[in-house]
Chain A
Amino acid sequence: MDLTNVVLEAAPHFEGYVYPNEATPEPLWSVLIVIYPYITGLVAGAFIMASLVRVFRVKALEPVYRLSLLTALSFMLCATLPLLLHLGHPERSYQIMMTPHLTSPMAIFGFVYAWYLMAVLLLELWFDYRQDFVEWSQTESGFRGVLYRALMLGVTDESDKAVRLDMKLGWIISIVGIPSAFLLHGYVGFIFGSIKANPWWGNVLMPIIFILSAMVSGIAMCVLNYLILTWVRRKTIDMRCLDVMAMFLFYALVIDASIEGLDWIHRIYSAEEDFAVIRQMATEKLFYTLNIGQALCGTLLPLLMLGLIQLLRKRLPEIARKRMYFASALMIVIGVFAMRWNVVIGGQLFSKSLRGFMLYKMEFTGMEGWLVGLAVLSLPFIILVVMIKLFLSEKLPTAGHVPHDSPSV
């Protein structure tokens, strides 16, 4: 072989130097893995929203209690889907539960997920809905009737004592649920934060940042869902509820922004070996998604708007407030998606040799392309619509018990 004839055949997928195994045309973890923490975050956030009613007895938020729980559930049901689709061997995924490697964050996530779905979310919903299921199963026929009857799990006791027990147990579960929700999404943060090989990810603040941004995105998603649902049903909006939601959203955003700011201050001040790469990422490679998407659109503008409303709530007309809430919630939801993108894709844009960057092209089709990503991302919304039709129907009268009063009984 003549050395002078050696030509690089493929167009390089990198600049500078990257390890040969890193010079792939697509990142190993692509848009599906961006969607995974995004969806999980929405679950945790929406659950915290519901807990405000049940545990912290924020009466004003009662109209969105069930909506936020159903939001949490519909996203929860899809949380593992992007992970499964992305696996090289999805048919072997059961092994995570059969032989979980206890030192692996991903293995423990399987159990955290199972715990959260079955021991927290479904249980809380069941206790909350049980009395209604009994009522509805008597009035409804056909598919709905069968469904409600099945969901009763054969418990038909409607006595005051039984309902009081439901409320009490629901309250206990809700209390257990708050740390569980933190655990769920903190754990997603830990999946990235535990990778010490990657300076973009390996960071003790990662779980905290994930929890906080999860709360922000979940509450914002509930605001959006509430606004859209009332608009679709041509109902009047409970302005007090919306104002209080937005207030909590503002507080959560303030904490989230300060912790993320702290993370950056720490990175800039300590300026470790990887800092040259990280600076180039923030100022060039991720300029639009990080500075424009995450910082400006996802954090600063909503902070300004929501903060302004906190100051001028009395003086702003309802319609202006509604529009501002909608706009800031939408920007936050997009901004948090940009944050997930920056974490997941950003962590794979530079070589672990810290000498170069990978150049990726996002596919439109294909397993890790935009199309599948969009489909996976829209699935929880479809599930949510079905759930709202089944469990939040206007035609079905509810027992209307007050969840936040439960501990006093």
Chain B
Amino acid sequence: MKKKLSRRNLLTKLGLAAAAAAAAPAAKAAKATVQKVLVTADAPKGYDPKDHKWQMVIDANRCIGCGHCAEACKTENHVPEGHYYRTWIERYIVTKPKPGSAETRGEVLVDSPEGGMRGFGPPPVPKEDIQQSFFVPKLCNLCEHSPCAQVCPVGATFDTPDGAVLVDPKYCIGCGFCIQACPYGCRFMSPVTRTAEKCTLCYHRITRGLRPACVEVCPTQSRIFGDLKHPLPDDPLQNFFKNNRVNTLKPHLGTEPRVAYAGIDKEVR
């Protein structure tokens, strides 16, 4: 314990010195996690990327907005503190139309305090004024035609054969082009590695037969995850497509997201 404390002290001191120089609060908090992000343990044995095709879909009808997924994602992947999220939850509130306005709907209010990772407080409008309200978990849309991978100048972000879209932190030059190209706001520039970062589908977990952290902790099975090349008996992924009419986000852009949604409204972008 003592040893740990002294190391933390040292880190804090280092962090403070760096912060004084850089004066970037996000970078300061991130300094402590810099070792964790690039550290490697053992590689999974016998995993062939060409033998799998992972996919995640969202049943928004089941999301209760607890925020465990966003929190677990931050923890599992050592995502820098602050406005950096690989997955987050949005709360949509459609208010009732004003009496006599001859409209079907009122305003649409959207929020995602801290990416929803601490849950959601009471709604910003009185309960009686709400016509419709629902949560929408967001993550990398795993596009069939990824605009982010398309624009990367060096091939540092790419679609893997097994269906993830990854960033190579050792090869990314940090130009930010992919972040601009992602229509869904799923990427960010990490202050730790100074490279682009995004949802990896928890690649370090799925390659070992574990579920992504967000799926693992989702209490209501709102996030459904599976392998298209190895469907389970009574596969939840197949059932999802059997039982729901699904939608994708911003279909007009032609990115063809593989993350399909059930139970979302036209207001969800």
Contacts and interface: CB of A to CB of B under 8 A. Distances in A.
Nearest to A91: B173
Interface string A1-41: 10110101010010001111111100011000000000000
A180 B61 CA distance: 55
Interface in A41-100: 83, 86-90, 92-93, 95-96, 99-100
A88 B177 contact: no
A222 B152 CA distance: 35
Contact of B83 (A4, A24, A89, A99): A24
Contacts of A89: 172-174, 194-195
A354 B269 contact: yes
B241 interface: no
A110 B82 contact: no
B253 A197 contact: yes
Given A8-B113, A104-B151, A194-B151, A93 B173 contact: yes
Contacts of B88: 19-20
A20 B147 CA distance: 20
B94 interface: no
B181 interface: yes
Contacts of A88: 172-176, 189, 193-195
A95 B121 contact: no
A401 interface: no
Q: A-side binding surface: helix, strand, loop or mixed?
A: loop
B183 to A, nearest CB: 4
A197 B108 CA distance: 22
A104 B177 contact: yes
Interface in B200-237: none
B172 A106 contact: no
A315 interface: no
A107 interface: yes
Contacts of A348: 180
B204 to A, nearest CB: 21
A3 B188 contact: no
A352 B90 CA distance: 14
B247 interface: no
B175 A87 contact: yes
Contacts of A314: none
Nearest to B113: A8
B171 interface: yes
A380 to B, nearest CB: 22
Interface in B141-156: 147, 150-156
Contacts, number: 144
B172 A196 contact: no
A285 B155 CA distance: 35
A256 B262 CA distance: 47
Which of B84, B115, B253, B269 gathers the greatest number of chain A CB atoms within 10 Å? B269
A29 B113 contact: no
B25 to A, nearest CB: 8
A96 B181 contact: no
A213 interface: no
B44 interface: no
Contacts of B176: 28-29, 86, 88
A160 to B, nearest CB: 47
Contacts of B189: 28, 88
B162 interface: no
Contacts of A17: 90, 109-112
B47 interface: no
B151 A105 contact: yes
A231 to B, nearest CB: 41
B119 A3 contact: yes
A141 to B, nearest CB: 45
Contact of B171 (A21, A83, A95): A95
A196 B253 contact: yes
A110 B153 contact: yes
Given A96-B173, A104-B150, A6 B180 contact: no
B85 interface: yes
B140 to A, nearest CB: 11
Nearest to A347: B180
Contacts of A24: 83, 188
A101 interface: yes
A407 B126 CA distance: 80
A6 B116 CA distance: 11
B185 interface: yes
Interface string B153-183: 1111000000000000001111111011111
Contacts of B28: none
Interface in B72-115: 82-85, 88, 90, 108-115
A352 B194 CA distance: 22
Nearest to A110: B153
A87 to B, nearest CB: 5
A378 interface: no
B259 interface: no
B180 A198 contact: yes
Contacts of A3: 118-121
Given A3-B119, A4-B121, A24-B83, A19 B184 contact: yes
**7 smallest beta-carbon distances between A and B, as pairs:** A88-B174, A19-B185, A88-B194, A197-B183, A107-B153, A17-B110, A106-B153
9 contacts: A4-B121, A6-B118, A20-B112, A86-B176, A92-B173, A95-B173, A194-B151, A196-B254, A197-B182
Given A106-B153, A353-B185, 8 more contacts: A21-B188, A23-B83, A87-B173, A88-B173, A95-B173, A96-B173, A105-B151, A195-B181
